[in-house]
Amino acid sequence: MDETAVRANPRPPRRPGDRIFSGFATAAAALILVALAGVGLFLTSEGIPALTAGKNEVPGGNGILAYAWPLVFGTLLSSAIALIVAAPLAIGVALFISHYAPRRLAIPLGYLVDLLAAVPSIVYGLWGFFFLAPRMGPLYGWLDDHAGFIPLFAGPASPTGRTMLTVGLVLAVMILPIVTALCREIFLQTPRLHEEAALALGATRWEMVRMTVFPYARSGMVSAAMLGLGRALGETIAVATVLSVSGVVTFNVISSTNPGTIAANIALKFPEASGIEVNVLVATGLVLFLITFAVNFVARAIVGRRSEFSGAN
Amino acid sequence: MTTPTQTEPRPNPGTSERLDERLHSPQLPRWTPWAVLAAAAVVTVLLNTVGGQGKALSVVLGWLIFVVTLTVMSRLYEGGRKSVDRLATVMVTTAFVVALMPLGTLLYLVVSNGAPALSGSFLSASMRNVVGEGGGIFHALWGTLLVTGMAAAMSIPIGLLTGIYLVEYGRGRLARWVTLLVDVMTGIPSIVAGLFAYALFVLFFGEGIRMGFGGAVALSLLMIPLVVRSSEEMLKLVPNELREASYALGVPKWRTITKVVLPTAMAGIVTGITIAIARVIGETAPLLIICGSTDSTNFDLFHGRMMTLPVYIYSQYKNPGFPPEFGIERAWGAALVLTIIIMVLNLVARLISYYFSPKTKV
């Protein structure tokens, strides 16, 4: 074969093996899109009968909206508590690991926090039910007596401690590892020169963190918190184990009458459900899917936008 | 930094003493925080024993005393900025300690309650015909192994191939969408995955379908994004020089990927897969929906209800029977077994990445 022939065909030949392999890889990637579309599609197809069903057929007898509203409310309330507790704590822990702990200890300490993520949610449920809830009971009594004028603590306090606030705390512990891990990654990416410049100008360590780390990591912290929120919204078994549910809509977080959450309600009702109730539960699951999808989508979009510009910083 | 009210006549400003004062602001000795902490600890113990306060309350009060004392001391002696810095350090460290408390109490609770339940028969007996004492987790253990194994068998090829696609082939719109949607998929609530599997199989088998394979489908929906993410990260780490060297020798792209790129990244990929298995093996909600719960051993993934460890814990806690203490004890025992499995998987993953990853030092 002469030189011109080589130059005439500069692209390497596509061998059958290449074509088959890249075909498999592309098919696998496409399958993920199909699966995600399938989740939306099948949930919709199973959920639609609940939307079209008569008011009296839906459990509770007031239609799907009246059925779903307390659950949506409970889901949002418990996740909001979890986020309010977990976000500052996670930022503190991440900062401790990235900027405060001795270098040598930082990695093992990071593993320790990651271990929290490995504990299954049912074990968190048992922990919340047998350990946390009984210990929170007296605190709720105290809050009821001394802070009862705040609607959140209106009482009457639950003696068992199986309340919305307890659930929020359990969820906070459960989302702590993921928020911490994401924050830690972002904190570690702060340009070293920014930090050293701040220190060289005489800043204390905290001033250095406030002037260089936080501005750099702001959008990342927001999206980490939102990803944690997505986790808290969908958490099922821990909530189903801990919370005592009575289907009311109330901001009172220390009493024994609480709204349920979508996920926990499905877990509690589904094993014995039949007929239209299954469709109702699937429809609430679809609502949960849409809420978490939106939260995750926005969070990832924030991260994605940031990563495009991070090279310039 | 110097005190503004200086009554003494100034000494010669050029002396070294004066210079020293200007260069070094006053600073508390290094051991100050520890000394204050020790003092606060003593106060805490006194509050608890002599003062008769509860344990939790005395710890909170002792911590407040520590924070206030240290900050005020620092403010008086070192000035405002330093005291804020000390306060921030204490807060950050406190956040870390607080975050570890659940882990500590949780592990203690699981081990202390679960250990008495463990025995040979606990591992080798199912719950068939068991009322009250006795019974075990044999059926749940097998169910967990089968369902998780099936889920892994489906997720690993799909996840790994998608990772390869994203790193080696993916250009343009499909790759961008897959990247974004894999991220979104990691956030799918596990219960929604269970409902999806139910809604899918209901089409083929009719209402009320329960089968182990459905659980595997639900778990793989949760596992695939984890495998994609970790294998993508690991494949990206493989230096391009290796690929180019292989191409230069005339090796086709697919042989380059299977013979050069994958072996280089294998340790990291196996670590990621192990962690993904550890993550889904503890899932309760989707299995509760689609696998159901049963007292008998079932080895057939495609037929009938199948018990799994997390669902076993949940159902023993929910319906402990009468008297309830036996059911609760079984729940704790199973929780201990499940926690041990997950911790071992995590440990194995760390060891693999530690021993088998390419050493950076040549």
pLDDT digits (tens, 9 = 90+) for A248-263: 788 888 888 888 899 9
Q: Looking at residue A12, what is its pLDDT?
A: 60
Q: What percent of chain B has pLDDT over 90?
A: 33
List own/partner pairs for A21-26 with CB under 8 A and 24 or more apart: A21/B253, A21/B254, A21/B257, A21/B258, A22/B165, A22/B169, A22/B253, A22/B254, A24/B161, A25/B161, A25/B162, A25/B164, A25/B165, A25/B168, A25/B169, A26/B165, A26/B169, A26/B174
| Inter-chain residue contact A32 with B224, CB threshold 8 Å | yes
Give the mean model confidence (pLDDT) for residues B91-101. 90
Q: Looking at residue A114, what is its pLDDT?
A: 81
- Kindly list the residues from chain B whose CB atom is less than 8 angstroms away from the CB atom of residue A130: 109, 113
Q: Looking at residue A10, what is its pLDDT?
A: 59
Which residue has tokens 């080895």? Answer: B299
Q: Is A199 on the interface with B (CB under 8 A)?
A: no
**A43 close to B199: Cβ distance less than 8 angstroms:** yes
Q: Looking at residue A88, what is its pLDDT?
A: 93
Q: Is A204 on the interface with B (CB under 8 A)?
A: yes
Residues 79..98 of B with a Cβ closer than 8 Å to A: which? 81-82, 84-85, 87-89, 91-96, 98
List own/partner pairs for A110-114 with CB under 8 A and 24 or more apart: A110/A181, A110/A184, A111/B350, A112/B100, A112/B103, A113/A176, A113/A177, A113/A180, A113/A181, A113/B99, A113/B100, A114/A177, A114/A181
For residue B350, what are the CA distances in angstroms to A177, A180, B302? 17, 19, 34
**A244 close to A261: Cβ distance less than 8 angstroms:** no
pLDDT digits (tens, 9 = 90+) for B182-230: 888 888 899 999 999 998 898 888 887 888 999 999 999 999 999 999 9
pLDDT digits (tens, 9 = 90+) for A170-213: 999 999 998 998 898 889 888 889 999 999 998 989 999 999 99
Higher pLDDT, A256 or B357: A256
The one-letter code for the residue type at A299 is A
| Inter-chain residue contact B96 with A93, CB threshold 8 Å | yes
How many other β-carbons are positioned within 10 Å of the β-carbon of residue A27? 14
pLDDT higher than threshold 50 for residue B16: yes
Q: Looking at residue B3, what is its pLDDT?
A: 47
Q: Looking at residue A313, what is its pLDDT?
A: 33
Q: Looking at residue B287, what is its pLDDT?
A: 92
pLDDT digits (tens, 9 = 90+) for B24-66: 777 888 888 888 888 888 888 888 788 777 777 888 888 888 8
| Inter-chain residue contact A123 with B169, CB threshold 8 Å | no
Residues 130..189 of B with a Cβ closer than 8 Å to A: which? 157-159, 161-162, 164-166, 168-170, 174-175, 177-178, 180-189
- Kindly list the residues from chain A whose CB atom is less than 8 angstroms away from the CB atom of residue B199: 42-43, 45-46, 282
DSSP letters spanning chain A: --HHHHHH--SPP--HHHHHHHHHHHHHHHHHHHHHHHHHHHHHHHHHHHHHS-TTTSTTSSHHHHHHHHHHHHHHHHHHHHHHHHHHHHHHHHHIIIIIS-HHHHHHHHHHHHHHHHS-HHHHHHHIIIIIHHHHHHHHHHHHHHHTTSGGG-SPPPSS--SHHHHHHHHHHHHHHHHHHHHHHHHHTS-HHHHHHHHHTT--HHHHIIIIIHHHHHHHHHHHHHHHHHHHHH--HHHHHH--B--------SSS-B---HHHHHHHHGGG--THHHHHHHHHHHHHHHHHHHHHHHHHHHHHHHHHHGGG-
Q: Looking at residue B1, what is its pLDDT?
A: 43
Write the ipTM.
0.85
| Structure tokens given for A303 | 């991260």
Residues 236..295 of A with a Cβ closer than 8 Å to B: which? 236-237, 240-241, 263, 266-267, 270-271, 274-275, 278, 281-282, 285, 288-289, 292-293, 295
Q: Which residue of B has its CA nearest to A172?
A: B99
pLDDT band at B23 (very low <50, low <70, confident <90, very high): low
Q: Looking at residue A311, what is its pLDDT?
A: 39
| Inter-chain residue contact A17 with B254, CB threshold 8 Å | yes
| Inter-chain residue contact B317 with A118, CB threshold 8 Å | no
The secondary structure of residue B249, as a DSSP letter, is T
- Kindly list the residues from chain B whose CB atom is less than 8 angstroms away from the CB atom of residue A45: 199
| Inter-chain residue contact B199 with A45, CB threshold 8 Å | yes
Higher pLDDT, B3 or B356: B356
Q: Looking at residue A310, what is its pLDDT?
A: 44
Q: Which residue of A has its CA nearest to B276?
A: A118
Q: How many CB pairs under 8 A join A and B?
A: 281
pLDDT digits (tens, 9 = 90+) for A107-150: 888 888 888 888 899 999 999 999 998 888 888 888 888 887 88
pLDDT higher than threshold 90 for residue B162: yes
**B315 close to B330: Cβ distance less than 8 angstroms:** no
The secondary structure of residue B166, as a DSSP letter, is I
**A258 close to A73: Cβ distance less than 8 angstroms:** no
Which residue has tokens 């989707």? Answer: B286
Phi, psi of A40 (to 5 degrees): -60, -45
Burial of residue B250, with CB atoms counted within 10 A of its CB: 0-12 exposed, 13-18 middle, 19 or more buried: exposed
Residues 147..166 of A with a Cβ closer than 8 Å to B: which? none
Q: Is A78 on the interface with B (CB under 8 A)?
A: no
